[in-house]
Amino acid sequence: MIVKTKAIVLSALKFNEKSLIVKCFTLSDGLKSYFVRDAFSGKKNNQKIAYFQPLTLLEIEAVHKNKGTLENFKEIKISQPYSSIPTDIFKSTIVMFLSEMLHHSIHEEEANPDFFSFLETAFMWLDTNDQISNFHLILLMESTKFLGFYPEDSNPNFDFFEMREGVFIPFETVTCLNKSNSFLLKKLLELRFDSAAILFNSKERQELLTVIIDYYALHLDGFRKPKSLEVLVEVFS
């Protein structure tokens, strides 16, 4: 079956010396993995590699056999090229980290057009804006809406966030965030990408990032802490 669709690159793993296995989140079919033969050879190898950088937005034509095996590209082009992400150390570090997080979080081989549209719009916003210190935190929390475990904040006066149930409660239990981190999480849930105020200092952002990673780990089977986390913390410290 030949499919034309948009796709977001989540990861590219070198296979043997010349080839790649590329995992993409596609608009048409959700998560798909592709085999790219001779990605490191030939006259256009630099162009090929450019297609598969983390979170690149693509338009692809591909053969989908839908048998649980690796699929194959027929044609690839960059849908919306980034202008600042490749050259901005802060943005490129965020992208590297988020690609790992999404790689370990998205497992469904079925279309989720709302999630795809959200991610596509968010990454274009990142590329064209400079107030990005909270971007990764907001994106990861907003993504839980599509992954199925967005925190419920129906009781704004409750002081403690219970991690397993994803709700705020009036008393502290062993699975709760402390009062301080619960308050930081409430502030984060109110933010959007274009929120002008910088509400968190570097220590608070680090605490929130730890909370979010722990929250993902509790709610996603097989979730692994990203290897790029240390780089992100170092760049934003």
pLDDT of the residue at 235: 80
95-130 residue pLDDT tens:
999 999 999 999 998 999 999 999 999 999 999 999
Q: Which stretches does DSSP call E strand in 37-180?
A: 57-63, 72-78, 160-162, 167-169
| Mean pLDDT within 11-40 | 90
Q: Which stretches does DSSP call E strand in the chain?
A: 2-15, 19-26, 30-36, 57-63, 72-78, 160-162, 167-169
**Any idea which residue has 């690149």 for tokens?**
56
pLDDT greater than 60 at residue 45: no
211-235 residue pLDDT tens:
999 999 999 998 998 999 988 888 8
Label each residue of 215-235 as H, E or C. HHHHHCCCCCCCCCHHHHHHH
Helix (H) or strand (E) holding 104: none
pLDDT of the residue at 44: 57
Instruction: Report d(CA 26, CA 154) in Å as an integer.
Output: 33
pLDDT greater than 90 at residue 23: yes
